[in-house]
Amino acid sequence: MNLPLTIKETQEGLKSKKFSAVELVDTYLEKIKKYNDEYKIFLTINEEGAYKKAKEIDNSDFTLPLFGVVGSYKDIFLTKGIRTTAGSKILENFIPPYSATIVKKLENAGVISIGKLNCDAFAHGSSGENSDFGTTLNPWNKEYTAGGSSSGSGAALSSGMSLISIGTDTCGSIRLPANYGYLFSLKPTYGAVSRYGVIAMASSLDTVGPLAHTVSDVETVFNVIKGKDYLDATVTEKSINNKNSKFKIGIPKEFFVGGLSKEIEKNIGEVIKIYKNENVEFIDVSLPSTKYGISVYYIIQPAEVSSNLSRFDGIRYGGLRDSFGEEAKRRIMLGSYVLSAGFYDAYYEKAMKVRTIIKNEVDSIFTKVDALIAPVAPTPAFKLGEKTNDPLSMYLTDIYAATANLSGIPAIAIPSGFSDKKLPLGFQLMAPRFGEDILFKLGKIFELATDYKPKVAF
Amino acid sequence: MNKYKIIIGLEVHIEPNTKQKMFCRCQQDHFGKIPNSNTCPICLGLPGALPYINKEAIEKIIKLGLALGSKINNFSRFYRKHYFYPDLPKGYQTSQLDSPFCIGGELLGKKINHIHLEEDAGKLVHETIDGEKVSLIDFNRSGSCLIEIVTEPVFNSVIEVIAFLKELQLIARYLDISNADMEKGSMRLEANISLSLDGKLPNYKVELKNINSFKFLEKAINAEIERQSKALNSGEKLIQETRGYDEIKKTTFSQRTKADSHDYRYFPEADLPPVELDNSEIEKIKLKLVELPEVKRKRFAEKYKLSKEYTEILILDIKRANYFEEAFKLSPNLITSIANLMVNKNLDKDFSEPAGLIRKILELTKVDYANSSDVEESISKVLYENPDVIKSFKDGKGQVIGFLIGQIQKKLNGKGDPRIIQQKLLEKLHE
Ligand SMILES: [Zn+2]
């Protein structure tokens, strides 16, 4: 059978008995078994659980919002009874006694959980190369990175191994793999989706969001996973009701200078033209402090990482601390340093002040525009191995991502074409906190205007 | 006597009697439970688990702060305090630093620095199993609520410390915050002890840890004062350190010196939004306060004219104090009997309602003693019938009194009040 690439197609097929949920699972598993050894997309396959759920779906009345949707999770989401590694050897044999809130919500909504996805160990990375279980290859071209840290979350979709996937975004980790995989993805507002049961990277920056082949699929999944669970105290329930029929998008000049590849600059130029044809207005804006974003991020994030990783002491579960990878060790050291007595004020405290400035700048821009447009990354997917010996240049991959995480605003990654080397291209839109609805509307305008069709690499 | 001025500051931990732990839904009461039966992903610090604040604990700490005259912060937040210990599952303790719930305050004239909320750690149990020495961890207590009261260094004697702790315990009980029982671990103490020649705070302090009973408290602090004064007398320089008390050797011993002290790497807990309390919420909590022991003490002394000892015994338990007042309202003229029977006989324990106690008192006082003319008549008769015995008495044989009282009671059919008989009999004999 031909795999459906949208929730609508899937559910219509199930309703009309074109295929059963069990047959869907057969097809996905077939693909996983065929390619996974080479592409290293799944770390654990939930064959038994998937079939059990599929049978339930086949016997159901097809009323759940996500019935029959085959989904997979970055291996940073705890799944009760199913191994959860965070991509690290430390948790190689960790079987969680409970499931993350989003896993429960999705399964209750009818999702068939097919497995756990590869990622950079503890989500530290932009290329998937920091996984202790091998690097995920990009299905569009296996010499290239699939993007990180949710490397499997992007590749699972662009290879047709799963219909939707969930990733985490601390500084671009959902948007980058979507961008390198010709996919849509949402990095929600900080506090819109529960982080309960998500192995923490940096608590004040971590967000949980979906990847899918269309805007409305991203939206549907987001609507299921958002909201309070009374387990994550940072979750709030708000939404901006934007009744605009005409949108105004800001082009922050700081995002279109320096290291941005010509190919991406040109592509986004075309995107802007398409939007303008759809009666969307663009104005130039400035976010002068965003240039400090990466510096601020690389103080706050390692500080929180060093704290969050201290529970992995090898006493109650997991391996010993010497099985942390190089990147985790680097961040633990950096983080411990910036938090230590005598340095706290100079680094952490100062970084938090700049973070507030960035946040204020972003907030004030949104009094003038509905959204901001920016690249997702400075270049299309880069070659595996290209940056592994240069952590700093790897960090700079996240230069356009940091603003949304530091200020807690939502961002959507949208596919917008292919490069000369046939690698996916894309852009991101950002909106005010809890302004996801604006992003969905703008995403749909783009889909319609370009007659977008979902694509998989194979 | 000691030529040094004793300077002591206290850090008192109180386990409030909330239903649930500080950040999860496990039971706060962990006493006597099967090891690790009172746990969940949150208090076990499992990956992915997040803290969720217990509002009841906030209410309890604010009640305490209001009672002690602290300023209640409208904005408080939690911090992570990092250190490694096997019973601390997250590798950090969620505590507070620069914006605790309560700032300042005073008790018995002793200034309080602040009061904050934090979570407790688990417990290590050292055992020998199959001949092998092992350390086991029990997480039942892990993540339970703790209120920490930090005083200024304002205590100059152990007596002051004990008085302070007893009063704090009483307040915690009055406000239904905690039983604050040291022996059960629901009140724990760390004392920072220094000695000074000129009365100024010296450049060291010794943190005396794990003092877990009033009995050892006095001995431990005195042992440390003695150690410090001996050291200073012999010209030794004292250092900043943490010491414990050895109950057998009756001395303190060093646990940790400043050189290997922790850098806790505090930073704000991002998993918990700051707690914002507006004044109306604080006012609402204020309404839940009850009359504090010190106020009750004064009022009892004034209103009931009771002795200091009686007052203290009655107010030691707010339920008894209320009982006393209820009983008083029922029969104000019986106040002396009520106080007597409660203080000396604990009779309030036999009657759950004050009215029951009053009935008992009336019953007791209604005993139909023979009237005094009957008593006098019987005494005269007995003396008339026993001239020999009177002679023996006059010869110095005091023990015959008992015989005479017995004879008199016989004539009164046992209805005489023994005290009155004795009194009147002695009067007659000495006429
Ligand atoms: Zn618990």
Q: Which domain holds residue A426?
A: 7-290+356-450
CATH number at residue A229: 3.90.1300.10
Residue A329 lies in a domain: no
**Between the CA of residue A205 and those of A189, A358, A362, A407, what are the distances in Å?**
10, 14, 16, 9
Neighbours of B363 (CB within 10 A): 9
CA atoms within 13 Å, Cβ hemisphere of B85: 18
B32 and B165 assigned to the same domain: yes
- Give the pLDDT mean for A353-366: 97
A169 alpha-carbon distance from chain centroid: 5
A99, A173, A194, A289: the catalytic one is: A173
Contact A59, A192 (CB under 8 A): no
B277 and B305 assigned to the same domain: no
Q: Is the peptide bond before A150 cis (omega within 30 degrees of 0)?
A: no
Instruction: Give dist(CA A77, CA A72) in Å, integer.
Output: 10
pLDDT at B402: 80
Quick check: is A307 catalytic? Answer: no
**Would the CB atoms of A339 and B266 count as touching at under 8 Å?**
yes
Tell me the per-residue pLDDT of B362-408, one tens digit each, with 9 for 90 and over: 777 765 677 888 888 999 999 999 989 888 888 888 888 888 888 88
B231 and B319 assigned to the same domain: no
SS3 of residue A384 by DSSP: coil
Q: Which of B228, B258, B286 is the last residue of a domain?
A: B286
CA atoms within 13 Å, Cβ hemisphere of A275: 27
B274 and B333 assigned to the same domain: no
Instruction: Give dist(CA A275, CA A442) in Å, integer.
Output: 9
Q: Which of B224, B256, B286 is the last residue of a domain?
A: B286
Sequence-distant (6+) residues with CB within 8 A of B415 are: B368, B369, B370
Residue A39 lies in a domain: yes
- A321: closest CA of chain B, how far (Å): 13
Quick check: is A261 catalytic? Answer: no
Instruction: Give dist(CA A388, CA A96) in Å, integer.
Output: 31
Please give the residue that has the higher pLDDT: either B237 or A390.
B237
B9 and B130 assigned to the same domain: yes
Please give the tally of structural domains in chain A: 1
Instruction: Give dist(CA B408, CA B406) in Å, integer.
Output: 5
Chain A contact set for B267 (CB, 8 A): 303-304, 307, 339, 344, 348
Chain A contact set for B273 (CB, 8 A): 233-234
pLDDT at A445: 97
Successive 10-residue mean pLDDT values, chain B, 431 residues: 87 98 97 96 98 98 98 97 95 96 98 98 94 96 98 96 97 97 93 92 91 88 95 92 91 83 91 97 96 95 91 94 90 85 89 84 71 87 90 85 83 74 86 77
Burial of A81-118, coded b for 16+ CB within 10 Å and e otherwise, reads ebbbbbbbbbbeebebebbbbbbbbbbebbbbbbbbbb
Tell me the per-residue pLDDT of A394-410, one tens digit each, with 9 for 90 and over: 787 888 999 999 999 99
B266 and B329 assigned to the same domain: no
Contact A202, A169 (CB under 8 A): no
Chain B contact set for A204 (CB, 8 A): 270
Q: Does the beta carbon of B44 lie under 8 angstroms from any beta carbon of chain A?
A: yes
Contact B211, B220 (CB under 8 A): yes
Q: Which of B244, B263, B286 is the last residue of a domain?
A: B286
- Give the pLDDT mean for A171-190: 97
B258 and B216 assigned to the same domain: yes
B241 and B387 assigned to the same domain: no
A149, A150, A306, A407: the catalytic one is: A149
B330 and B186 assigned to the same domain: no
Q: Does the beta carbon of B263 lie under 8 angstroms from any beta carbon of chain A?
A: yes
Tell me the per-residue pLDDT of A316-331, one tens digit each, with 9 for 90 and over: 988 999 999 999 999 9
- Please give the structure tokens belonging to residue B104: 């300042």
pLDDT at B119: 98
Sequence-distant (6+) residues with CB within 8 A of A176 are: A126, A147, A148, A150, A154, A376, A377, A397, A398, A401, A413
Chain B contact set for A356 (CB, 8 A): none
B25 and B52 assigned to the same domain: yes
Whether ipTM tops 0.85, in short, is yes
A170: CA distance to ligand 1 center in Å? 27
Residue A41 lies in a domain: yes
Q: Which of A368, A372, A427, A376 is nearest to A400 (CA)?
A: A376
HEC sequence for B295-327: HHHHHHHHHHCCCHHHHHHHHCCHHHHHHHHHH
Instruction: Give dist(CA B395, CA B390) in Å, integer.
Output: 9
Residue A341 lies in a domain: no
pLDDT at B1: 47
Please give the tally of structural domains in chain B: 2
What does DSSP assign to residue A348?
Answer: I
B15 and B60 assigned to the same domain: yes
Burial of A144-162, coded b for 16+ CB within 10 Å and e otherwise, reads bbbbbbbbbbbbbbbbbbb
The model's pTM is 0.90
pLDDT at B257: 81
pLDDT at B265: 96
Q: Which of B368, B344, B346 is nearest to B357 (CA)?
A: B346
Quick check: is A149 catalytic? Answer: yes
pLDDT at B259: 64
- Placement of tokens 């990956």 in the chain: B47
Sequence-distant (6+) residues with CB within 8 A of A350 are: A299
SS3 of residue B195 by DSSP: strand
Q: Which domain holds residue B249?
A: 5-286
> Mutation test of the interface with chain A: which of B267, B275, B276, choosing the one with the most A Cβ atoms within 10 A?
B267
- Please give the structure tokens belonging to residue B304: 């009931």
Sequence-distant (6+) residues with CB within 8 A of B48 are: A77, A78, A96, A100, A195, A196, A197, A198, A199, A200, B41
B279 and B321 assigned to the same domain: no
pLDDT surpassing 90 at residue A371: yes
Q: Which of A207, A225, A122, A278 is nearest to A430 (CA)?
A: A207
- Placement of tokens 């007596």 in the chain: B159
Instruction: Give dist(CA B23, CA B272) in Å, integer.
Output: 10
